[in-house]
A and B are shown apart, each in its own frame.
Chain A
Amino acid sequence: MIDKKTLLASLLGASVVLPLPALGQDESSDSDPVTLRMAYDADPVSLDIHEQLSGGILQLSHLTHDPLVRWTKDVKFEPRLATDWERIDDKTMRFTLRDGVKFHTGNDFTAKDVVWTINRLKRSGDFKAIFDPIASATAIDEHTVEIKTHRPYPLVLNLATYIFPMDSEYYSGETEDGDPKDEIVKNGDSFASRHSSGTGPYEVVSRQQGVKVEFERFDDYWDKDSPGNVDRLVLTPIGENATRVSALLSGDVDFIAPVPPNDLERVKADKNVELTTMSGTRIILMQLNQKRVEAFEDPRVRQAFNYAVNQQAIADRLMKGFATPAAQLSPKGYDGYNDSLEPRYDVEKAKELMKEAGYEDGFSVTMMAPNNRYVNDAKISQAVATMLSRINVDVDLKTLPKAQYWGEFDDRAADIMMIGWHADTEDSANLYQYLTECPDAETGAGQYNAANYCNPEIDEKVAQANVETDRDKRAEMLQAVEKALYDDAAFMPLHWQDLAWAAKKNVKLEPVVNVMNFPYLGDLVVEQ
């Protein structure tokens, strides 16, 4: 919330209320307030957490709101506003909600807020696609919610990580201009885009878009066990990579993300800051368009391309070790991850396959890649082009800024196109749905399948897995899909990008980072 009353209240709160031991986080209540100054590459576009499905907005959601459940470091679920959950039947999941949780306005958090939030998510342009499987949400009593799905759906918990209950009372009614307070406006002003009330550890006290956002710790935050001791957060967007790193090294900010790969070594070498990295879940791959190039219809050619590319070398040399070589779409930790699949670099074998397929003398293809979207994207595409020249494939490469690239991607403008994908649901099925399923404009399947790869058998298997609610059985099915895609060489996987953050030595980042690329700053400890 940023109206004046709350600003005053939180300022008073910081100076008057915090010293009371009953409300303070630790016994350190009489020490100075702890401020964390952080720099991200961009600031959230809006305070409305349902306006855009993006990293920036999700980061904000974890600050001002709390999800029902959240991901742990090893891709497991951790209870937050939901303390317990059980499956009633194939289509129903029952959540027990935490007692005694308050919103920033002081309203009590109850089941009706969860129902209200889910209904709003289903109206949000960006979120409605992933909330489509949910048929209804019902409040059974004050602290119990039942979520029903249209058909048996295994990923209700995954979706629950996106349910950040909003203060339904606060967002009900109309503004002075007569607009409903709960409307979601993509391109324009709305009540929710300028005001916020959640249950999260921080309240927004001031915001100047593109310049900075300031947060204060919420005094009545429910999680008294949280070790977090940061009283004030200042988020500054610094788009320029070199400047962001300089700001950290010169001590102007305490914490930065992302850390540009070219500066990883430099940051690591500095004795005042600490670099924290972990394996990420964003897969970088190349798609071979079968509609444009006849040769790509032959699985042997696609396999040959896979044998020709040295993923290990790209990860080691280009990415300087900050990437994990991939042979499949699902990263480790996902249900579909199949540990028997290894990168298959073997140029001789690749040449043999090309010969078998009748393309011993190779052919010419076009390739396109963005040059400012993924880490080292342009360099990676150059490396791949060079590697392909060893099997006599002549690549005409063009790299473009992301703003132009996606238009070309939608037009499928080149024979080979690069894409990076992170599954919004942290589940393998999402990867197949967007990247490998037969493209269908009606259902939206294969929306990013620039290979035009189509294998109805595999799609059928994914569909079966999507209604299997037994997690172990489902994992087995998904792993079989991953293997089938590998054998068919549906695409050229390259690597999963590592995640990297950097902070001053006294900022204890390690315990709060997770695969989602937004550290849980509510639990962050800054040593004094």
Chain B
Amino acid sequence: MIAFLIKRLMHAFVVMFVISVISFAIQSNLGDPIQQMVGQSVPESQRAELREELGLNDSFLVQYGRFAANALQGDFGYSYFFNEPTTEVIQRHLPATLELVIAATLIIVVFSVPIGVYCAIRPRSALSRFFMSVSIIGISIPVFLTAIMLIQLFAIGVDFSPFPVETGWGQWLNGVLSTEGGMPSYGRGNNLTHLFGTWDSNFFSLDGLTYLVLPAVSLASIMLPLFIRLIRAEMLEVLQSEYVKFATAKGISLKRIYFVHALKNTMLPVITVGGVQLGTMVAYTILTETVFQWPGMGLMFLEAIQRSDIPLIVTYLMIVGLIFVVTNTLVDLIYGLVNPTVKLTGKPA
């Protein structure tokens, strides 16, 4: 266990090093930060001065060396735009992103397990077929499109009336097709509950929750179908296995077989995929947050790219890299707990 953690820590260092080198290496392609800072009529001489001041004229190695030396002491530099240490900027934006990811994860867990299990138990029922075809659509529509459609339907509202308004049935059908709107279309709202430090939460008031719904649903929309299909496929396989057949033969109640024996073994690969996808979800927050103007890390990162705010970009990439390393390590640990036959260090026990 200890040996495993130490090994993972070494991995983490290598990963962070590689990320920092790569993000540093691409900065020359990210555009000129000076351009974003000064007005159009500022002469070249003054721009050169500012460039020198920021150390942008030094060679790659000198710049990287300076960055790495500071980073090892926890100083990741100052954001050009916010005029603050990048770590502070990220600390301020992190809670919003985490809340979004947590909310989306809740939606995924609450819906994917029952639907996935149902589709496995009753593979031929109409409802299962319906879930399967909807999930295909869900996987194929990109997040930003889902987000924009949700805004149009539930924030702005749609007035759709192809049926005659005079008749009762027409009115009813039109009503079914049209939506009222009224959900908040952007941001986190004003009713945030302060938890600690930079963490203000949307979870503790009804008004705060309404702001969370649309972004969380959009973010969940890409993963939810994936998990439904994954759970369904795994469960189907498990239901074919010998021990389930044996349990059935033994006369154990179906409920117990499905939810105790089969589901437990179904969840093993789901946890692995889930851990990896959690990292991916952080990446998807870039799209969701941009569409909903959600003041989290994803939006901050996209804006940092537009402003060529290099220190912030590098810090963000490193922190996301860290999140990936940490979640994967955790997944491996949990895996060991769930299935004791898995050896973490790869040595015979």
Contact = CB atoms under 8 A, between A and B. Distances in A.
A447 B39 contact: no
A153 B143 CA distance: 57
Interface stretch (B41-49, B99-107, B117-125): B41-49
Interface stretch (B2-10, B184-192, B221-229, B243-251): B184-192
A22 interface: no
A403 B35 contact: yes
Interface in A218-252: 236-240, 242-243, 246-247, 249-250, 252
A215 to B, nearest CB: 16
A46 B84 CA distance: 13
Interface string B48-88: 00100110000000000000000000000010111110000
Nearest to B93: A210
Contact of A187 (B37, B41, B42, B183): B37
Given A187-B54, A249-B156, A404-B29, A243 B185 contact: yes
A126 B39 contact: yes
Contacts of B50: 125, 186-187
Interface in A324-376: none
A243 B291 contact: yes
Given A236-B187, A236-B293, A252-B186, A404 B38 contact: no
B175 interface: no
A402 B35 CA distance: 9
A143 to B, nearest CB: 31
B181 A250 contact: yes
A238 B299 CA distance: 10
B83 A238 contact: no
Given A125-B46, A403-B307, A447-B44, A52 B35 contact: no
B237 interface: no
B31 interface: yes
Contacts of B302: 239
Contact of B293 (A209, A240, A441): A240
Contacts of B29: 404
B295 interface: yes
A246 B156 contact: yes
- Interface of B: prevailing SS: loop
A407 B31 contact: yes
A187 B53 contact: yes
Given A125-B42, A193-B83, A401-B31, A238 B37 contact: no
Interface stretch (B131-139, B147-155, B165-173, B339-347): B147-155
Nearest to B154: A250
B332 interface: no
Contact of A407 (B32, B39, B152): B32
Interface string A312-324: 0000000000000
Contacts of A46: 83
Contact of B31 (A126, A406, A447): A406
Interface residues of A, number: 45
B300 interface: yes
Contacts, number: 133
A239 B300 CA distance: 11
B241 interface: no
Nearest to A51: B37
Most chain B Cβ neighbours within 10 Å, of A46, A127, A129, A186: A186
B151 A53 contact: no
B306 interface: yes
A239 B302 CA distance: 10
B30 interface: yes
Nearest to A433: B41
A404 B78 CA distance: 22
Contacts of A518: none
B181 to A, nearest CB: 6
A189 B84 CA distance: 8
B209 interface: no
Contacts of A237: 293
Contact of B83 (A189, A239, A401, A410): A189
A444 B307 contact: no
Given A186-B50, A236-B187, A250 B295 contact: no
Contacts of B182: 250
A130 B41 contact: yes
A200 B308 CA distance: 33
Nearest to B189: A252
A68 B295 CA distance: 37
A75 interface: no
A454 interface: no
B40 A187 contact: no
Nearest to A237: B293
A246 B185 contact: yes
Interface string A421-443: 10010000000001000000100
25 contacts: A46-B83, A54-B39, A125-B38, A125-B50, A126-B38, A129-B41, A188-B83, A210-B303, A236-B293, A239-B302, A239-B303, A240-B290, A242-B151, A242-B291, A243-B292, A246-B148, A246-B185, A246-B186, A247-B185, A250-B157, A401-B306, A403-B306, A434-B41, A444-B43, A447-B41
Sorted nearest first, the 10 A-B pairs with minimum C-beta distance are A403-B31, A53-B39, A250-B155, A126-B39, A444-B43, A250-B185, A406-B35, A250-B156, A246-B185, A129-B41
